[in-house]
Amino acid sequence: MRTPLIAGNWKMYKTVPEAVALVEALLRGLPAMDGCEALVCPPFTALHAVGGLLRDTPIGLGGQDVFYEAQGAYTGAISAPMLRDAGCAYVIVGHSERRQIFGEGDALVNRKLRAALAHSLRPILCVGETKPQRDAGQAETIVVGQVRAGLAEVGDAALPEVVIAYEPVWAIGTGDTATPADAQAMHATIRHTLVELYGMQAAEQVRIQYGGSVKPDNVDELMSQPDIDGALVGGASLTAESFLRIIGFRQ
Ligand code: PGA
């Protein structure tokens, strides 16, 4: 059985006081976390403050990105040991905004993912096609290619630490969600790719999140799909009320 993982990606939102207020509200309203895991990924500047509040609570902490070197002359970069030091257990890699706005390609994403694993951080590998790619019938090829490239040189033992987030680029921040059936179909394709790479038993353990305009009113149906094991939530993770409802999804 896979434990669903609901993660909030705060992106470039929340000053430290705002982040603290949001986490305090989340902790106040947190439902019983039976068989579900929750995670918040604040901006780097708020990690330390939020991490302090989340210690010994059921909500985990994640970074939004990581550089592949542990330390050095890399202005502006944050390393995996630094994220661990701030209390992170997870880190997002290859988010479509990193790929599209910051020009990150599959090879860089793979280096980041392997650096995370090397420092005991669980990577959330984001994959997803753009609208023109979907319209051209290339969605599966693109997504499978991103999964294979992202996992290059990742061995069998490390695979269960990896989370994959399928986020169709056209659904992110737009209010357009993939239908539960379309999302399920892509999740099944991703799982099939994992079976090819690692065998059935290992593939069955990997959590595959859906992301892209997940909201309180669509989370239940998405989470009822057999291969949807959680959600990566942007906009709706920025207020306690909506994120708490998503964490408390009903199947
Ligand atoms: P959204 O963002 O929920 O605002 O669409 C999701 C994401 O980018 O992870």
The per-residue pLDDT for range 178-204, each reduced to its tens digit, is 899 999 999 999 999 999 999 999 999
Q: What is the 210 CA–ligand 1 centroid distance (Å)?
A: 10
The pLDDT of residue 31 is 84
pTM: 0.97
**Is beta strand 5-9 parallel, antiparallel or unpaired with respect to 59-63?**
unpaired
- What is the signed CA dihedral for 126, 122, 228, 204, rounded to 10 degrees? 120
Instruction: Tell how far the Cα of 167 is from the centroid of ligand 1, in angstroms.
Output: 8
Q: Is the pLDDT of residue 144 over 80?
A: yes
Closest residue to atom 2 of ligand 1, CA basis? 234
Q: What's the confidence (pLDDT) of residue 32?
A: 83
| Distance of alpha carbon 223 from alpha carbon 218, whole angstroms | 9
Q: Which residue has the tokens 């669980």?
A: 122
List, chain by chain if needed, residues with CB within 6 Å of any ligand 1 atom.
Answer: 9, 167, 172-173, 211-214, 232-236
CA of 26 to the centre of ligand 1 (A): 19
Residue 119 contacts by C-beta under 8 Å, 6 or more apart in sequence?
70, 79, 80, 81, 83, 84
Flag whether pLDDT at 251 surpasses 80: no
Mean pLDDT of the chain, nearest integer: 96
| Ligand 1 atom closest to 126 (CA) | 9
Give the pLDDT confidence of 95-125 residue by residue, as tens digits. Answer: 999 999 999 999 999 999 999 999 999 999 9
Would you name the residues annotated as active-site residues? 95, 167
DSSP state letters, 88-125 = -SEEEES-HHHHHHS---HHHHHHHHHHHHHTT-EEEE
The dihedral sign for the CA sequence 157, 158, 159, 160: positive
Token output for 156: 């069998």
Q: Which atom of ligand 1 has the smallest separation from the CA of 237?
A: 3
